[in-house]
């Protein structure tokens, strides 16, 4: 029988709520249709944001939303998206699907969306094709309180008060769509551009707590050289002059079961591809450890957060949809990818300070899909709903017995993964995944020095292909999990196949 041992006295690190972050790009039907329908739409909305989507996102406590890209960010010129809508430029979204981008969703609309969601803001600037001046003026436009050309322009456009930028990305994927730069070239550009991402509304002393957190473009997957070279140029813990220049370094990693070229179907797969997908999801653990080890060399005090601001499954698009829209279905397999990956992030919360699932609505591993006025919640949504209990909680020391399973040598995955946290009030939250398509595993659980007084369980579980559709929107939902039994040393639960389980445990203290 597998043993899960938890030490409630050993708190490892805070699981920053931003690990449960999301990403929204001007791509396909993510922003337009998925979130923003405009004030005149027959779809119920508040200031153009669809009410059903906003309410569903509030339920999972979206902590932070990255915008406007992605690759779109390094082609985005923010001035195109301000002022009277009828005067905004209409252009072709050359990167994604060749459709008309009318710029009706711009800076004001993004901050309105974040206000409605009650989430932090993560604006991604354009380093690839924009100027230093343009980036600097965007920050001035958004955040400057006093009298200045950009602050005055914001006021003319109807917003007297400045907004707050919590995180600012200085370019996106600058090794690829963001300018095809080499690490040394980008790192020097980063140093230059970030200089003008000014903190207007707080003193230098207050910057650490209240300032804009600057995110430097990090590596694609296993490009360890990029991480090393960028840090060498931009961050050196012995060089005081470089402090405060970088708060985060990003990492992008997508799961393509059949590789980048073929990708693979979102819904039609066999056991071998199931394991391949989950094994590739678990690879996130190795990526974080290896990039993290390089970061440790430069930043042993872990001042820079690893920001996994794009992650998730990337399958072949749904048949009949625009290939540039990246619209895909979402099954129990995606729920497992989410559960495994979020457990990995929690376990590495000493270094991983933010992560953003790609993407929030209608694109890639979305939590919500829409069709006209209809909306469905995906299996991934329900995992985020259960895991929200970890937001800002303390990661506890824990371990579970697991074994590698799979149908081929190459693609093995741990049958069980877990992470455990303690909330402010002492409640313990345990999340566990079972990657086996057929085995139920009993797990004997021991919380050291504690007597358990109450346990509640919930789970997302089903046959591996199960999904929600507009015809059957509730096939996959959170179900009660009751296969739990108190034992002398703690409790035992039996986790069924293809499951993501969340246990809420109260103790006698
Ligand atoms: O999320 C889709 C795309 O994937 C993003 O625009 C880009 O940053 C990444 O390559």
Could you give the angle at which helices 332-347 and 379-387 cross, rounded to 10 degrees?
30
pLDDT-derived band at 318, boundaries 50, 70, 90? very high
Q: Which among 509, 496, 506, 494 has a CA at the least distance from the CA of 445?
A: 494
Atom of ligand 1 nearest to the CA of 359: 1
Which pLDDT does position 244 carry in this prediction?
62
Instruction: Give the pTM.
Output: 0.97
pLDDT digits (tens, 9 = 90+) for 233-283: 988 655 655 556 899 999 999 999 999 999 999 999 999 999 999 999 999
Of these residues, 25, 137, 173, 229, which one is catalytic? 173
Q: Which of 22, 25, 122 to mutate to test the pocket of ligand 1 (most atoms within 8 A of CB)?
A: 25
pLDDT digits (tens, 9 = 90+) for 382-418: 999 999 999 999 999 999 999 999 999 999 999 999 9
Q: Which among 275, 346, 280, 287 has a CA at the least distance from the CA of 313?
A: 280
pLDDT digits (tens, 9 = 90+) for 64-77: 999 999 999 999 99
State yes or no: is 310 an active-site residue: yes
Which pLDDT does position 236 carry in this prediction?
66
pLDDT digits (tens, 9 = 90+) for 160-206: 999 999 999 999 999 999 999 999 999 999 999 999 999 998 777 77
Which pLDDT does position 505 carry in this prediction?
97
Mean pLDDT, residues 7-11: 97
DSSP category for residue 351? T
Ligand 1, CB cutoff 6 Å, lining residues: 25, 69-71, 172-173, 310, 358-359, 364
Distance between Cα 173 and ligand 1 center (Å)? 8
State yes or no: is 134 an active-site residue: no
Say if residue 208's pLDDT is above 80.
no
Atom of ligand 1 nearest to the CA of 173: 8
Q: Are 215 and 134 in contact (CB under 8 A)?
A: no
Rounded CA gap, 136 and 150, in Å? 10
**Cα atoms in the 13 Å half-sphere on the side-chain side of 207:** 15
- Supply the residue whose CA is at minimum distance from atom 4 of ligand 1: 70
- Supply the residue whose CA is at minimum distance from atom 6 of ligand 1: 70
Mean pLDDT across the chain, nearest whole number? 96
- Supply the residue whose CA is at minimum distance from atom 9 of ligand 1: 70
Say if residue 465's pLDDT is above 80.
yes
Which pLDDT does position 424 carry in this prediction?
97
Q: Are 169 and 309 in contact (CB under 8 A)?
A: yes
- Supply the residue whose CA is at minimum distance from atom 2 of ligand 1: 70
Q: Would the CA dihedral through 5, 8, 9, 10 be positive or negative? A: positive
Say if residue 300's pLDDT is above 70.
yes
Q: Which of 358, 361, 362, 363 to mutate to test the pocket of ligand 1 (most atoms within 8 A of CB)?
A: 358
């Amino acid at each position: 029988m597998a043993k899960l041992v938890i030490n409630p006295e050993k708190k490892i690190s805070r699981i920053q709520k931003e690990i449960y972050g999301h990403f929204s790009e001007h791509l396909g039907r993510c922003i337009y249709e998925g979130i923003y329908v405009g004030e005149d739409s027959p779809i119920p909305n508040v200031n153009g944001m669809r009410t059903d989507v906003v309410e569903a996102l509030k339920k999972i406590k979206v902590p932070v939303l990255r915008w406007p890209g992605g690759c779109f960010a390094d082609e985005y010129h923010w001035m195109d998206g301000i002022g009277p809508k009828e005067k905004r430029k209409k252009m072709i979204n050359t990167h994604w699907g060749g459709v008309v981008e009318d710029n009706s969703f711009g800076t004001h609309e993004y901050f309105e969306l974040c206000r409605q969601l009650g989430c932090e803001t993560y604006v991604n600037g354009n380093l690839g094709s924009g100027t230093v001046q343009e980036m600097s003026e965007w920050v001035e436009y958004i955040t400057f309180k006093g009298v200045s050309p950009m602050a005055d322009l914001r006021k003319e456009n109807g917003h007297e008060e400045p907004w707050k930028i919590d995180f600012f990305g200085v370019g996106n994927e600058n090794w690829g769509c963001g300018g095809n730069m080499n690490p040394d070239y980008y790192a020097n550009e980063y140093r230059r551009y970030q200089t003008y991402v000014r903190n207007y509304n707080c003193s230098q002393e207050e910057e650490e707590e209240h300032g804009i957190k600057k995110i430097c473009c990090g590596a694609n997957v296993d490009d360890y050289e990029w991480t090393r070279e960028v840090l060498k140029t931009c961050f050196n813990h012995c060089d005081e002059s470089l402090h405060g220049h970088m708060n985060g370094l990003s990492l992008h990693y997508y799961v393509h079961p059949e590789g980048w070229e073929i990708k693979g179907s979102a819904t039609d797969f066999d056991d071998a591809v199931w394991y391949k997908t989950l094994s590739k999801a678990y690879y996130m653990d190795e990526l974080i450890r290896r990039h993290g080890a390089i970061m440790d060399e430069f930043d042993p005090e872990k001042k820079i957060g690893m920001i996994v601001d794009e992650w998730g499954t990337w399958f072949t698009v749904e048949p009949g949809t625009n290939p540039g829209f990246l619209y895909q279905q979402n099954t129990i397999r995606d729920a497992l990818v989410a559960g495994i990956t979020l457990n990995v992030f929690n376990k590495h919360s000493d270094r991983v300070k933010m992560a953003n699932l790609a993407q929030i609505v209608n694109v890639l591993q979305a939590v919500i899909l829409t069709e006209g006025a209809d909306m469905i919640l995906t299996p991934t949504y329900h995992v985020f709903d259960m895991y929200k209990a970890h937001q800002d909680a303390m990661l506890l020391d824990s371990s579970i017995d697991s074994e590698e399973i799979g149908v081929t040598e190459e693609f093995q995955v741990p049958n069980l993964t877990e992470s455990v946290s303690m909330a402010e009030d002492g409640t313990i939250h345990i999340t566990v995944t079972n990657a086996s398509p057929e085995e139920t595993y009993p797990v004997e659980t021991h919380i050291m020095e504690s007597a358990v007084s109450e346990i509640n369980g919930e789970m997302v579980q089903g046959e591996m292909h199960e999904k929600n559709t507009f015809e059957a929107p509730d096939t996959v939902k959170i179900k009660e999990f009751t296969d739990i039994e108190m034992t002398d040393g703690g409790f035992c639960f039996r986790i069924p196949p293809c499951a993501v389980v969340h246990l809420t445990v109260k103790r006698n203290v």
